[in-house]
Amino acid sequence: MLAIHAVPAFKDNYIWMLVDGREAVAVDPGDDAPVEDFLAARGLNLASVLATHHHADHVGGLPALARRWKCPTFGPAREVAAALDRRLTEGERFTVPGVGIELATIDIPGHTAGHIALTGAGLLFCGDTLFACGCGRLFEGTPAQMVDSLGKLARLPAETRVYCGHEYTMANIRFAEAVEPGNAELASRKVRDEAKRARGEPTLPSTIGEELVTNPFLRCGEPEVAAAAARHAGRALSGTVEVFAEIRAWKNAF
Ligand SMILES: [Zn+2]
């Protein structure tokens, strides 16, 4: 029976730990120390490591873990990261050593140029591309690329559980309220997620279905979101990419 644990790292990162019996898999281990602590406390073996993109807060701990556990590591084909031995391309499927689930690779450039998502078994590991009620900054990509990448994730089954890389949810919800103050789904999500934070729990995972009705970056085609973006820009905007670009710039300065 697969269980998924959030291991906090740095200020607001999550390292996702997949555990089945005595075997464990680490997703985006920016730091090896909290992973080692987690494994030691539960007497687990690290069977593999997965990475979504090359940023140090996602792969910084990967070389040390691979050395210590002599386990295979999986990550993006189009990015350079130390100690990656399986380089995954769009559409590639593989069985995750240790937990046995099959994941498929989706190319989602935008936050970084070679960013990938891994999905299967009703799960999505999307790093810093889709966040709960938000999306990643465009460090290496264009708004058009990010709209395309988010669109691929938005088309996954609504019940897919979204495991992203950071606990940014409450700040993202505050921004989403500025964009769509009348969104009732957003208001009820805020109550639910505030309660989780008050109990000291992660707000994650969310679901694709929840993101579709509350995440402004997936809602650039909605008239309310487009109108809010145009008001903020002070000019007419044409098309989803222009709306997305304005919302992304608005969030950067929020
Ligand atoms: Zn990143």
For residue 115, the CA-to-ligand 1 centroid distance in Å is 9
pLDDT range class, residue 28, cuts 50, 70, 90: very high
For residue 58, the CA-to-ligand 1 centroid distance in Å is 7
User: Which residues line ion ligand 1, judged by CB < 5 Å?
Assistant: 55, 128
Take residue 70 and report the two structure tokens written for it: 């002599």
Residue 164: enclosing H or E segment and its boundaries?
A: strand 161-164
Q: What's the pLDDT tens digit per position in 175-213? A: 999 999 999 999 999 999 999 999 999 999 999 999 999
For residue 235, the CA-to-ligand 1 centroid distance in Å is 31
Take residue 12 and report the two structure tokens written for it: 């607001």
Q: What's the CA gap between 7 and 29, in Å, rounded? A: 9
Q: What's the pTM?
A: 0.98
Q: What's the pLDDT tens digit per position in 34-70? A: 999 999 999 999 999 999 999 999 999 999 999 999 9
75 contacts: CB under 8 Å, gap ≥ 6: 50, 51, 52, 54, 59, 62, 81, 84, 86, 87, 88, 116
Q: Which of helix, strand or coil describes residue 54?
A: coil
Main-chain dihedrals φ then ψ at residue 21, nearest 5 degrees: 65, -125
Q: What's the pLDDT tens digit per position in 110-140? A: 999 999 999 999 999 999 999 999 999 999 9
For residue 184, the CA-to-ligand 1 centroid distance in Å is 30
Side by side, the strands of the sheet bearing 116-120 are: 93-95, 102-107, 116-120, 123-127, 161-164, 206-207
Which residue numbers are catalytic?
Answer: 53, 55, 57-58, 111, 128, 166
The radius of gyration of the chain from alpha carbons, rounded to an integer in Å, stands at 18
**How far, CA to CA in Å, does 159 sit from each of 149, 154, 195?**
19, 11, 22
For residue 165, the CA-to-ligand 1 centroid distance in Å is 8
For residue 21, the CA-to-ligand 1 centroid distance in Å is 30
